[in-house]
Chain A
Amino acid sequence: MYKKGIYKVVANAPLTRDVYRMVLEGNTQWIIRPGQFVNIELDGLYLRRPISICDWDEHTITIIYKVVGRGTEQMSKMSVGKELDVLTGLGNGFNAEAECSEALLVGGGVGVPPLYRLAKELLAQGKKVSVVLGFNTAAEVFYAEEFRQLGAEVYVSTADGSVGVKGFVTDAIRESGVTFDYFYACGPLPMLKALCDNCTQRGELSFEERMGCGFGACMGCSCKTLTGNKRICKEGPVMRREEIIW
């Protein structure tokens, strides 16, 4: 279930040069799973902007976004106290109850945030959680420490080797020798594909697409899967590995 509401910005600060963390205060009862997203109305822009949920509690929603265009640029300039019209509880999210004992969470760039809440939930179930975070360079790294503080084992890869393993997340997985029997991933499409090409375990992946409504009405973000046509915003953004057509 999803609803529209008014949310107040209670924190909004940069984590890196162009990645920001925003905390919104309001009704969070419609958010039920990690990997769901919100859709935010912005001044002067026609379409809402979908942003994945990093974490939530009874009164607040934490989102992390990268400034990539006019919408996110506007968000980066918002002051505390600003009120936003937001749809919450959108998308199906990750299945934290999937059968597994050792989970691997793989995030690339701004694909990292939704894994944070997921890590929390998996750790609360007593599962072993390893996290591999991929970035271009050391200056872009965020949330590695936050994942460590939760109790997850964290590995970082950077394309230029300025921190962690030089290369991609798949290089970090190989070099670390991390063991897992299930994976969860969110990040750019080439990363998701490389991951699936390089491991045989079961898992689920979160996808991105340009959206119209964000709640399944317009069919703007459809994709084909082995289990039929899916809407990224509604049946997705998370899909099981075995249903994906690469």
Chain B
Amino acid sequence: MAKCLDMSVELCGVKLDNPVIPASGTFGFGREHNDFYDINILGSISIKGTTREARFGNPTPRIAECRAGLINSVGLQNPGVDAVVAQELPRLRKIFRKPIIANISGFSIDEYVECCSKIDKEEQVAIIEVNVSCPNVHNGGMSFGTQPEMAAEVTRAVKAVTMKPVFVKLSPNVTDIVAIAKACEEAGADGICLINTLLGMRIDIKRRRPVIANKMGGFSGPAVFPVAVRMVYQVAKACNIPVMGCGGVESAEDVIEMMMAGATAVQVGAANLKNPYACKQIIEDLPVVMEQLGIERLSDIIGIVE
């Protein structure tokens, strides 16, 4: 390589070696993918969505095949915030040396606050990602993320109990994404993460019933990429806080496209399930694609599209 290419980015003072972050819920707490490759190559990790109490989640089937993607209806299965702090984070620390992103969900403002104040004490956590957009649990956040006032209220309440940067993860299942993002920004959010999954449904035509036990679930995969790019673009243009782009990213080119739309860092979700090496492949391909496109510093292209 002729020049020294710089893939690093900075999110609210948190410096990442590269912008590639596995999205919450597609990477567990890192162990499974670490059996395939050394996950320390990643920019960071957004850990499995955590709630106050342990949750089993939804009945199975929870997964449905789609054209260019999948529907999941896991329903925030997780061991609860205390077990995450006591067991999962120490285990993750042994295999991943970099700062991580903790993804928090809740069913009430109190729950968000309690989880975030517990996570706030964890040195390993650099950023709190507040999920107000899970489509798979009743009131499990998505109602907070579909109304600007509610999103703002969660943001304010969480900001009051943590010094860590707070990114609010938004749902695409809304009419006006900009209004919600701006409400979060005004309420003190340090950044926005988008998009979560699109509410979707498949029907088994032989059995004449939904494929998913819960009928509907969150649709993700490459099919949603253009929707994600559009929303990242709109929000990045309208807000003055950094955006983590997420939705259908599968390649180094997708990462660059998302960054040109306005993303400072890029999350990779469904691709981790189809190809366990997806993030590794993207990180290895990035310098090659940067060179082809004449990009020396990746951070130079953030929001470059007018």
Contact = CB atoms under 8 A, between A and B. Distances in A.
Contact of A210 (B32, B62, B275): B62
A229 B48 CA distance: 16
B60 A219 contact: no
Given A46-B67, A212-B72, A218 B35 contact: no
A235 interface: no
A217 B272 contact: yes
Contacts of A220: 60, 62-63, 72, 74
A136 to B, nearest CB: 17
Which of A4, A48, A210, A223 has most B Cβ within 10 Å? A210
Contacts, number: 94
Given A4-B276, A210-B62, A215-B32, A46 B77 contact: no
Contact of A218 (B31, B63, B67, B277): B63
Which of A48, A218, A222, A223 has most B Cβ within 10 Å? A218
Contact of A224 (B28, B56, B74, B274): B56
A218 B276 contact: no
A219 B61 contact: no
Contacts of B304: none
Interface string A54-71: 000000000000000000
Contacts of B77: 219, 222, 229
A46 B70 contact: yes
Interface string A181-217: 0000000000000000000000000000111110111
18 contacts: A2-B35, A41-B275, A46-B66, A46-B221, A47-B63, A47-B70, A210-B63, A212-B62, A213-B26, A213-B32, A215-B32, A216-B31, A217-B272, A218-B28, A219-B57, A222-B62, A229-B77, A234-B32
Given A45-B65, A211-B63, A217-B273, 4 more contacts: A4-B277, A210-B60, A213-B32, A222-B77
